[in-house]
């Protein structure tokens, strides 16, 4: 197996890009470098909100995001992107055909850029143990037709096993990507999620591992 570049996302301003170039114009569209990315002609609003979720046309394609997420969700709501500094690192490491792991994929904010850089000949394996984030991750992969992405509701560790994940109230505003799994959740509502190791994935190629797992 080829040596992989490891990228661990460093803490910043809560996942919100401070140097974002995208903005929302008065028509409600996301602009990229001053040019609306909805395409030419009459512009329609890029925002659709349904319950706890919203859908917005963002820098790297349409995204479903949790409006109660004070970090990742807010980044998409305000800037239409998530951690472009990480995407620049990916661009320097990946070429068409690349295989990447997204460990701690959250709702897929960086899964999409990884998949597009590797192209249809590449592959992305995205891992997210928290149920609501995982469902949204799958929705974003489907919404963007990323057929070469495989989503897994599981954690990644140094040994196989299971981990308890607490049930979260979807109406609670919080950092949904900062959930710690180090506590004892046996006395609160929870569900079990499998833990797998990278060695057991059986990959014959691996170009990059992105890790953003917070307290997990």
What would the pLDDT profile of 52-101 be if each residue is shown by its tens digit?
A: 889 999 999 999 998 888 889 899 999 999 999 999 999 999 999 999 99
pLDDT at 184: 73
pLDDT for 41 beyond 60? no
Q: Which residues contact 45 (CB under 8 A, 6 or more apart)?
A: 27, 28, 29
Average pLDDT over residues 188-210: 94
Helices (H) and strands (E) in the chain, counts: 4, 14
Q: Element (H or E) spanning 124, and its range? A: strand 123-127
Which pLDDT value is given to residue 16? 37
Residue 49 has pLDDT above 70, yes or no: no
The 8-class DSSP code of residue 115 comes to H
What 3 state SS string does 47-104 have?
EEEECCEEEEEECCEEEEEECCECCHHHHHHHHCCCCHHHHHHHHHHCCCCCEEEEEC
What is the model's pLDDT at position 150?
98
Confidence of residue 176 (pLDDT cuts 50, 70, 90): low
pLDDT (tens digit, 9 = 90+) per residue, 147-168?
999 999 999 999 999 998 888 7
- pLDDT of res. 188: 76
Residues in Cβ contact with 169 at an 8 Å cutoff, skipping those fewer than 6 apart: none
């Amino acid at each position: 197996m080829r040596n992989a570049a490891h990228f661990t996302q460093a803490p910043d301003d809560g996942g919100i890009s401070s140097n974002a170039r995208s903005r929302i114009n008065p028509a409600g569209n996301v602009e990229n470098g001053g040019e609306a990315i909805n395409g030419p002609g009459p512009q329609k609003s890029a925002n659709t909100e349904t319950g706890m979720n919203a859908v917005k046309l963002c820098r790297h394609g349409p995204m479903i995001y949790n409006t109660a997420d004070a970090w990742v969700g807010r980044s998409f709501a305000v800037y239409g992107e998530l951690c472009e500094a990480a995407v620049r690192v990916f661009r320097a490491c990946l070429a068409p055909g690349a295989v990447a792991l997204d460990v701690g994929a959250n709702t897929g904010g960086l899964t999409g850029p990884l998949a597009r850089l590797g192209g249809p000949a590449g592959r992305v394996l995205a891992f997210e143990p928290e149920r609501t984030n995982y469902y949204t991750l799958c929705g974003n992969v489907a919404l963007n037709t990323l057929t070469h992405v495989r989503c897994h509701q599981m954690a990644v560790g140094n040994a196989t096993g299971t981990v308890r994940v607490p049930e979260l109230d979807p109406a609670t505003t919080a950092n949904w990507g900062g959930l710690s799994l180090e506590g004892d959740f046996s006395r609160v509502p929870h569900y079990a999620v499998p833990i797998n190791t990278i060695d057991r994935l059986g990959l014959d190629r691996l170009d990059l591992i992105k890790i953003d797992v917070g307290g997990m």
